Amino acid sequence: MTREELISLVATLVPDMKPGANKQYPEVIVTAAQLHELAIALKKTPETTLDYLFCETAVDRKDGFHMIYYVSSSVLHHLLMIRVVIPDKLNPVIPTVSDVWRAAEFYEREIFDLFGIKFENHPNLKRIFLDDDWVGYPLRKDYKDTFTIER
Amino acid sequence: MEDTVVDIDLKEKEEYIINMGPQHPSTHGVLRFETCLQGETVKYLIPHCGYIHRGIEKMSESLTYPQLIHLTDRMDYLSAHINNEAVSLCVEKAMGVEVSDRVKYIRTILAELTRIASHQLWWSAFGMDLGALTTFFYGLRDREKILDIFEESTGARLLQSFITPGGLMYDVHPNFQKRVTEFVKYFRKKLPEYDQLLTGNIIFRERTQGIGYMSLEDAIEFGVTGPSGRGSGFHCDIRKIEPYSAYPLVKFDEITFDVGDTYHRYLVRMKEMWQSLSIIEQLIDGIPQGPIMLELKAIKAPKGEYYQRVETARGELGVFIVSDGAPSPARIHYRTPNFSNLFIINKISAGHKIADLVAISGSLDLVIPDIDR
């Protein structure tokens, strides 16, 4: 599927989505509430079959946390980038997609560990790299500890 | 002796929780498997990682692009050249520049040499995991030749930091072409020895065939890529899907099998070494002349988000850069192959004996610093 076809197909599934500015891959911006249903639809629809989530990550920006999902199709090899902005920086919450793409279970544990974003309905949400009693979330821009070196 | 409540429960079921690692030779690094055993059978296991988490992504936010190249070596240290290349390609893509053909050829040859060296070390250690010590001597004997080529041209044997945004650190040694040609000739003779020693061995086959089945659906669901995914029939070779550097110019086959057991994951890597030799042969005699470094005023990615996928020896490496236009990235994320390849191990080893767990984890070819970053 081409870039325009993919974006217009997402538009039929989620009418108020916004196309993103990414030049490299087709990008769509949806809200946290729409994410889970969109994920199921993209995986099930035969024209898209986006069954392979190869990258899920978060970015700390001024307007909130941006969740980035890169999904691809193992058969058709097209790519889609999904972006969800979480404006609430104090208590960021987003539904999990680990029931749709199993790989997300571990990407989301990493994001929870390093960004402190909570994933609703996640089967096993606990820190993956850092100790359980670690204070703070290191990849947030406002994170500081005694080891931080200012440059 | 008084038993606690938990102990009675475990005793009735005859289950034991055994920690394998973090210091255990067969995990090839600091990884801990919390294994629940019933007799010698694995009921389930939980991988615990983070013992070598260095915060590479956080560190990189305060380094410039040429500086952070040096940290990527230390993720998957057996694919150092390919990791360097991934970041370099991503930064070049962001800046909208393209390196000369000479650089593309050299990068691809180095990447394929790295892949062979990595598979050689994996083969050596895999044999050793199963109790065959000789493989280690055979594998390291041949890997030494590649490391010598790297040492001569890049100055380092393991962590080269040679490929950098804009080109290469310096030109390859004048002997490079001659020595690589010699190596390819030499290794074409030696590779059949590997098959004679291990692939046809009846004990080895009994230990690997039919062990640790991974279905195609599971491989895709968990995002298992590289030789481990291709052993299950997952067409995930980035060199074919999104060709980069000199890969569009060469002919090679993507090795896949539809079986998905430990033995076929092994076979993928053995056959990939032949393909890598063939790629090197196609390129080595035609390295064009040209500049090895682009003349750039400053290495800065313009504002935006960029993603680059490459195929390392273990699977798909993704580099995600968010830039505000500063000399260092606002955020850099590495989608590392080993992190995604690890967590399937519970599913494919449950029900097998603990000795088979060693074979299965060996066939996934995990490099722990790449998981933890």
What tens digit of pLDDT does each residue of B287-334 get?
A: 888 888 888 888 888 888 899 999 999 899 999 999 988 888 999 999
Mean pLDDT of B340-349: 89
Which one is predicted more confidently, A151 or B343? B343
Distance from CA of A35 to the nearest CA of B (A): 18
What is the number of other CB atoms lying within 10 angstroms of the CB of residue B203? 11
pLDDT reading at B211 higher than 70: yes
Nearest CA in chain B to A137: B58
Identify which of A25, A53, A127 has the shortest CB distance to residue B307. Answer: A25
> Which residues of chain B make contact with A105, given a CB cutoff of 8 A?
343
Q: Do B223 and A59 touch (CB under 8 A)?
A: no
> Does residue B48 form part of some domain?
no
> Please, what sign has the CA dihedral across residues B21, B25, B31, B34?
negative
Domain extent listing, chain A: 3-88
Which contacts (CB < 8 Å, 24+ apart) does range B169-174 have? Answer: B170/B292, B171/B292, B172/B106
> Does residue B32 form part of some domain?
no
> Does residue B6 form part of some domain?
no
> Which residues of chain A make contact with B340, given a CB cutoff of 8 A?
54, 103, 106
Q: Do B50 and A128 touch (CB under 8 A)?
A: yes
Quote the distance between the C-alpha of residue B321 and its chain's center.
Answer: 21
C-alpha closest to that of B275 among B245, B242, B248, B253:
B253
User: What CATH number is given to the structural domain containing B240?
Assistant: 1.10.645.10
Tally the domains of chain B.
Answer: 1
Which one is predicted more confidently, B10 or B275? B275
Q: Do A106 and B62 touch (CB under 8 A)?
A: no
> Does residue B132 form part of some domain?
yes
Fold of A3-88: Beta Polymerase; domain 2 (3.30.460)
Q: Do B340 and A103 touch (CB under 8 A)?
A: yes
**Would strands A93-95 and A79-86 be described as parallel, antiparallel, or unpaired?**
unpaired
**Would strands A93-95 and A52-61 be described as parallel, antiparallel, or unpaired?**
unpaired
Distance from CA of A65 to the nearest CA of B (A): 12
> Which residues of chain B make contact with A103, given a CB cutoff of 8 A?
221-223, 340, 343
Q: How confident is the model at residue B286 (pLDDT cuts 50, 70, 90)?
A: confident
> Which residues of chain A make contact with B372, given a CB cutoff of 8 A?
129
pLDDT reading at A140 higher than 50: yes
Residue type, A112: F
Identify which of B57, B223, B305 has the shortest CB distance to residue A103. Answer: B223
Q: Do A52 and B223 touch (CB under 8 A)?
A: yes
Q: How confident is the model at residue B195 (pLDDT cuts 50, 70, 90)?
A: confident
> Does residue B46 form part of some domain?
no
What the block records as the tokens of B213 is: 């089945």
> Does residue B17 form part of some domain?
no
CB pairs under 8 A between A and B: 77
Those residues of chain A whose CB sits closer than 8 Å to some CB in chain B are 21-25, 51-55, 57, 59-60, 68, 70, 74, 77, 81, 101-103, 105-106, 110, 114, 127-131, 138-139, 149, 151
Nearest CA in chain A to B54: A129
> Which residues of chain B make contact with A81, given a CB cutoff of 8 A?
307
Phi, psi (degrees; rounded to nearest 5) at B220:
-70, -45
Grouping H, G, I as helix, E, B as strand and the rest as coil, residue B123 is helix
Q: Do A55 and B330 touch (CB under 8 A)?
A: no
pLDDT reading at A127 higher than 80: yes
How far apart are the C-alpha atoms of A146 and A148, rounded to whole Å? 6
C-alpha separations of B369 from B3, B72, B189, B363 in Å: 40, 10, 33, 17
Q: Could you tell me the pTM of the whole model?
A: 0.88
What tens digit of pLDDT does each residue of B32-84 get?
A: 888 888 888 888 888 998 888 888 998 888 888 988 899 998 888 888 999 99
> Does residue B5 form part of some domain?
no
What the block records as the tokens of B338 is: 């080993």
How far apart are the C-alpha atoms of B95 and B298, rounded to whole Å? 10
Q: Do B335 and A68 touch (CB under 8 A)?
A: no
> Does residue B315 form part of some domain?
yes
Range of the domain at B344: 55-372
| Sheet of strand A27-30, all strands in order from the earlier edge strand to the far edge | A18-19, A27-30, A79-86, A64-72, A52-61
Mean pLDDT of B337-345: 90
